[in-house]
Chains A and B, each alone.
Chain A
Amino acid sequence: MEIPYTVHERPDTGLWNAKVGVWLFLASEVMLFGGLFSAYIFLRIGADYWPHHALNVPLGLTNTIVLITSSITMVLAWVSVKMRDFGQFRFWMSATLGCGCLFVVIKSIEYRDKFSHYGVVFRDEAAFRKYEPELSALGANIKTNTEGHGARLDRTPHFEIAGHLASGVTADAIELAPDRHEGGAKGGAHGGALRVALADVARWGVFAPRYSTYYAIYFTLTGLHALHVLGGMVVLFYFLVTGAKMFAADPEHLANRVEVGGLFWHFVDLVWIFLFPVLYLL
C-alpha cells in the first residue's frame, strides 16, 4: 500500500502531504511560543520592577546575525538540491549546521555568565539607605524602580545591585564587588567590595531562573528556543548524512525534505528575531 502525494503534489490542493503537515505543526508552535510571550507580557505588566539591559546586547546581536545567516545558507542548500547539485547541497547544509553550533556556543557563554553573576535585592528602602554612601563611593550601578524609567507610585520600591562575589558568603553577610555604571557588568573592572548583612537582604543569588520572574521567563523562552535549535540541527544533520542515498533514488523527495526542514529552521530563526528585542532591548 502506498500513501498518495508524499512526493508530488495533489492537483486540486497544490500541496504534498509533508508541506501541509509542517505548516500545521508551525501553527501549533506559534501558539506555544505565543503562550509564553503572553505570559511575558502578563508578568511584566504586573511586576514591581523589571530589569532593563540585563543581558549582553553585543552577544545577542551576534547570535541574531548568525541565525539569519543560517537561514540564508538553508535556502541555498534547498536551491542546490533543486538544481540537482549534491556537492553544493552538502556545503550549504554544513554551513547551516555550523551556524547552529555557533549559536548554541554563544548562548552557552551567555548562560554561564548569568550563573556566575550575583544579584542582591534589599529588604526595603531603609535597608538600602544604610549602604547608599558606600555604594555611591564605589560607583555601583543601583537598579531601582523609584526614579526614572519604570517609576510608578503603586509599586513596592525596589533596590537591587549586582556584581561578583568578592570573598564569599558567610552565615550573616555577603561580600560583593558591585558592577558599576557605564557597562560595569560587562567590563569586569571591579573596584572594591562591599559587605551586605543578610538581615538587610530580601533575596540574593546568581541570575538563575529562580532569581526573579524576569530570569524565569528569560531562561524558559531562550531554553525552549535553544532546544528547538538543537532539534532542528539533529534533523538537518540526518538529512546531510542520509541525503546521498535519497538524492540518488529520488532527488525531488530530498528537496521536499530539505524544504520542510528549512521551514522549521526559518521558524526557529523567526522566534529568535522576536526574542532578541523583547528580552535584550526592551
Chain B
Amino acid sequence: MIKIVYNGELDPRLCKQVLGSTIPALAEADPDVIYLDSDLMNCIGTAKWGAAHPDRAINCGIAEANMIGVACGLASEGFKPIVHSFGCFSSRRCFDQAFLSAGYAKNDITILGTDPGVTATMNGGTHMPFEDMALYRALPGSTVIDITDPTMLESVLHQCVDLPGVKYVRVGRKSYAKVYEEGSETPIGKAITLREGSDAVVFATGIMIHEAMQAAQALEKEGISVAVVDMFTVKPIDVDAVCEWAGKTGAVVTAENHNRYGGLTSAVSEVLGARCPVPIEHVAVEDEFGEVGTQSYLQKRFGLTAEHVAEAVRKVISRK
C-alpha cells in the first residue's frame, strides 16, 4: 500500500528517530541482523539500545574502513549487517572496503549514510557528500537509495535487510516534507508517481522531492502541467518509468541533492540516451565541493530550490 499525503508540511517524525526505533526493531525481529556504528550512535538515537545490547550493536569507534571490513566478515558468518556513518564517511572513507570486501567478495551489507549533500549543513564541506551516490552506483550489483521521507525510510530499511548485494541508503537525520502516509510500503526499484502532468516530468529524490512538488504547483498557475516522479531508487533505476514519462511528456528534468555527475542525472540520462531520447535538464550541484551554512542558504548557493526546478522545467520545454 502506498498512500500519498503530500501537502508541503514537514513530517513530525525526525529520520533519526525512525533509525533509532527501526534498527532495534529489525534486530529484535531477526537474530541475524547486527548493527555496527562508528562513534555516531548518539547521532541516530541508537546509543541507549546499543548499550543494552552490546552483542547486537557494535560500536567500532571512529574507524569506518575497519567497520565495513568487520561487517563483511560478519556477513560471511551469516549475519545481516547494517552499518552507519555520516554519508561522507560511509562512502568515500571506506569505499575500497565496500567495493572489495563487500561487493566483490559478495558479503551482503546495508550501508547507511546520514546527512547527504546540503543536509550536512553546519558540518560543512568536509562532511557534505555530493558524490556518495556516484561512488556506490559504480559498485557492481549495488542498490542505491536516496530517502524521501521518514515513512519511506522505515519501509526501505525493512526491505534492505534481506536484499542481496551492497545496499547504500542516504538519508538526512532531520525531517522531510511528509509524502507518504505512515505505514506505506515503497518497493525498492519502483518509481512512484506523485503527480501527473503532460508538459514535462521531474524525476526527483530526497529533499528535492519537496522542491519539485512546489515547483510543479507554481508552474500549474502558469498553465504548465508537470508530473513529479519519486526516483528514490537511483540504482537499479526504474527504466520503464523513465521511458513511460519521457514518452508521455517529451521533456525531462532531474532534481537531486548531489553532484550532476554520477547520480540521478546520470542514471536518467543513461536510460534516455539508450532507450527513449528526449531533452533533459538537471537541477543538481554543478561539480563543486560543499561548504558550511544553513540548509536554506546551501540550497540557494548550490541551486537546489523550487525556483531552480521551475526554471529547468521552462528551459526543457523550450527545447522540445
The answer to whether A and B assemble together is no
Q: Which A residues have a C-beta under 8 Å from some C-beta of B?
A: none
